[in-house]
Structures are given as C-alpha cells and as structure tokens.
A and B are shown apart, each in its own frame.
Chain A
Amino acid sequence: MNEDRVESGLVALDKMLGGGYFRGDSTLIAGSPGTGKTTLAIQFLASGVMDDEPGVFVTFEYLPQQMYRDALAKGWDLKEWEKSNKFRLICTTPEVLIAEDEKGNTLLDEAIKEIKAKRIVIDSLAHFEFLGLSQSELRGTIAGFMNHLKLKEVTTLVTHEIPEIIGPVMRISDFGFEFLVDNVIILRYVEMEAELKKAFIILKFRGGDHDRKLHEYITTKTGIEIENPFQNVEGITSGASRKTATQRAKDLI
C-alpha cells in the first residue's frame, strides 16, 4: 500500500487524517447544498498547485466563467493556474466525460496526460444518476471510473450532494457511492441552540487511523477553516444537537 501522503489543503484536516490523504486514494465529500464541498475540493487543488502537483477540476454544474469568478473571489486565480499548466477546468457532462475515443482515452485522460495531473476533482457524482442507468449499472460505471483513476495514480476527490439540509442522514446515496471510495467526509449543518452551525465529519478513512471527533468548521473568504471539535454536545449526527447533561449543568445547577 502507498504510504505517501497528499496534503488536503487544510492543515487541520491533514492533522485529522494523520498527515493527509493517501496518494492515489479516492475521497467522497458528501454534504448538503452550501456546506462548502466545492470550496474544499478547490482548496485541495490549490494545495497541489503550490506543491507542484497539477490538478484537474471536472464540473457538471458550473460554467467556466462562473468557476473562474467564484474561485477568484476566494483568492484562487484558476486562469493563472491554467496558464502555468498546473490546472485544467473541464465543464462537461458525465456522458462526455466517460466516453472513450478510438484509442480508449477519455476527456479526463487527455487532461491528466497534458499537465501530468496528480489530483482530480469530480463535482459532483450526483450527476451520474442522470445517465439513466439502473442501480447496478450505475454502481458498476462509477466503480469502473474510480478504478480507472486509481490506475492513473491520481488522488481523487468526488463530491456528492445529500438532499437533507438538517435532520438525520440515513444514507449518503441510493447507489452506495460511499462503498466505492476509500474515504468519506461528510459536511453537514447542525442546529445548535437555535443557531445553524457546520460539522466536519470523517466517516471513513481506509488504511489509516483518523480523528473521529466531530469538528465545527466555518467557510471564510479564503476557504474552509476547521475549528475545534464540538465539546459536550451530543446528537450532532442527528442534525439536531443538544448539550450533554454535564454541559447543561453549568447553566442549571
């Protein structure tokens, strides 16, 4: 197994993962709308740009101008990265992305080859559901796609939307995407004393130990910042957290 680690772009997350993602592994970032999945993914690529590890961002949702504008607002000049061959932006559809040419190469393969990409982001996996495949076919397609990327020795982040804004999340996807990747990170809203906060949860990290605490995180002008773990609070994964008795004791005893 590859013990080489890849920085996530967040010092706190690297610490939680024991040094970063394993090189060549795939990570699913699942979360409700607005939780910062895309931001976290770009931070991962930005870290690669700094470390001379070019990256490709595949989006099924954004138009190029939108991507450039939103990223620039957070201080990431994607156009500049592209000029220096450290980045490629692919705005496409899942059908086009997985379609192979006569040599068996895909659009993504070309981009990887072109800039010698080491990091890939797919935003988001949910769009594969629109391929109109059956559950088993879709699962097979995604599994094949993830294995294909693994063979390319790229470290991959894939995002996926969880429709529930708040409340318990019973499953990440109907298609079992979480079983096809090495790691799973969940970004979610939690209600805490009439305030909406965000929780950063590492659900699964294959091959290594990780921080199992639920951390609060905030989205700033420069990206996601993971803060300290929630203290003396229970029920965070249910979406409606509450203080523990020991915490309430401060106010009630």
Chain B
Amino acid sequence: MTSNTLITGIQVLTAALFFVIGGMLLKRKAKSRYARPTIFFALWWVIVGITKGKTILDSILVEYEYYGLHIGLFYLNAVLVFAGFFFLLYYTLVLFTGNEKITIPFGVFFLALLVLLLAFVAASGPVVITEAGGDLAPGTIDCEIPNWVTTLLLLGMLLPQIGVCVALYVLFFKLKGQPTQRYRVFLISTSLFLWFGSGLLVSFAESARGSDAWLIIKELISLFAGMLIYFAYNPPAFIKKKHNIIGLADENTVQAVQAEE
C-alpha cells in the first residue's frame, strides 16, 4: 500500500464518519426553539465531511490528470467552509447567550470575508497546477492574493473558531451535575481543537514535502477528531454505565415517549 492510498483511505473513513455524525445530529429531536442552532451544528459536521470529500475528489481528479473541476470545487469549498464556520459560531453564540440576533453581525462579517476572498482570487486569474515537481503540488490553485488579505482571512477565520473551542472548554468546567453534557462538551471541544490543529499541520506537511509521515499524522488526527464526536453522541457501554451518561439514541427515545404522553 502506498502512502497516498493510505492517506486517501483515512480521508474516506473520516469523511464518512463526519457524514454519519451530521446525519445523526440532523435527526435529533430538538426543542422547537433550539431547532435552528441544532440544525446548524449538524450542518457544520456535514460540511466538515464535504470538505474532506472535496480533498478526496481533488486527489482522484489529479490521479486521472483531469483539472477542469478544481477551480469550481475551490469556490464551492470556500462558500461551504465560510457557511460552516458561521454555523458553528451561531450554535456556540446561541448556546452561551440564548440570543439568535447576536449572530447577525458575525454572519455579515463572514460573508464580507468570503466576498473578499472570492473577489481577490477571481481577480488574480487563478490557475490549476498541473505539473509535478514545482513548489506547488498538482491540483493546487495558484493565485495572487495580497499578504494583508491572507492575514485578514486567516485571523477572521481562525480567531472566532479558537474562541468557540475555548468557550466550550470553559463550559465544561461550569457544567456540574450534568454528566452527559459535560462528557459531550469535553469531546466536542477537544475534537474541534484537533480539527483546527490538524489544519495547522498542513504547513508542516507542506514544508516537509517528501516525507508523507506528516500528512498521514494530519489525516489520523482528523479521523480521531471525528471519532471523538461520534463517541460524544454514542458513548461506549462502559462509559454510559460508569459515568451515568446517555447517548443520542436514548435521548431521542425518551423525547419520543414524552411527546406521546
């Protein structure tokens, strides 16, 4: 097995896992007033799965030396990533404030960042790298974006998400007497840290070109992040029993019974 096959295999597993998590959360029987943040949270994980799927598709297209879809996929991915970031932030803000209106300025902010990114990419005339051996790998989009825009985009995208992770960790310490929520919030926040952290590993991986070890580690971290979320909502039996934690399936059953009553 080549390292590329191994990486793609891990990516397929990770994408599938995030789709399962997203689907599972979309089926969650949320209280009506929290329907939107619950759906947004589920959509965030679906989008994580889609972006992983996009990476897999990119690799397959490069393998078949077909580069006609890369730019389109790049734009689509950018839109989805920004939507996903907003969904995650929306969920966290509603969780902490109970106020959905407070999310509007953040929505406008993310939309402005997205427009800025797309405008600069489109204006620079993006090109898909098709030849191996250069600084950029085949399938990469080569475009000229000013440094200040790159910095702004990175800060605008990363800072709110780091804030989300920190806020959820803080909530973990405040959730006393709610073992299920405590367990879930710990795994969710750890998973988010790993997910964003694995993104930072890309730079290591790229700088260590020639050594696929970094890329494999990065993909394994993503897979592990997905497993944490999965187990957050489907705890193993011994954890359920030992820590008095309930799974999403049990929760849905209880709510269905209550609704019938």
Contact = CB atoms under 8 A, between A and B. Distances in A.
Given A242-B98, A245-B95, A245-B96, A250 B171 contact: no
B94 A252 contact: yes
Contacts of B94: 248, 252
A253 B174 contact: no
B188 A253 contact: yes
Interface string B77-103: 000000000000001001111110000
B91 A249 contact: no
A253 B233 CA distance: 9
Contact of B33 (A193, A246, A250): A193
Given A250-B178, A252-B95, A253-B188, A245 B171 contact: yes
Contact of B31 (A245, A249, A251, A253): A251
B181 A253 contact: yes
A251 B184 contact: no
A252 B33 contact: no
A243 interface: yes
Chain A contact surface mostly: helix
Interface in B191-245: none
B98 A249 contact: no
Interface in A25-81: none
Interface string B158-192: 00000000000001001110100100110010000
A250 B33 CA distance: 13
Nearest to B38: A252
Interface in A207-253: 242-243, 245-246, 248-253
B33 A249 contact: no
Nearest to A242: B98
Interface residues of A, number: 11
A246 B98 contact: no
Nearest to B188: A253
A253 B172 CA distance: 11
A246 B181 CA distance: 9
B37 interface: yes
A13 B94 CA distance: 36
Contact of B98 (A243, A250, A253): A243
A252 B34 contact: yes
Contacts of A246: 171, 174-176, 178, 181
Contacts of A253: 95, 181, 184-185, 188
A83 to B, nearest CB: 51
B157 interface: no
A242 B38 CA distance: 18
Interface of A: 193, 242-243, 245-246, 248-253
Given A245-B95, A252-B34, 15 more contacts: A242-B97, A245-B97, A245-B174, A246-B174, A246-B178, A248-B95, A249-B95, A249-B175, A250-B181, A251-B31, A252-B30, A252-B38, A253-B95, A253-B181, A253-B188
24 contacts: A193-B33, A242-B97, A242-B98, A245-B96, A245-B97, A245-B174, A246-B176, A246-B178, A248-B34, A248-B95, A249-B175, A249-B181, A249-B185, A250-B178, A250-B181, A252-B30, A252-B34, A252-B37, A252-B41, A252-B91, A252-B94, A252-B95, A253-B95, A253-B184
The 5 closest A-B pairs by CB, nearest first: A242-B98, A249-B181, A253-B181, A245-B96, A252-B95
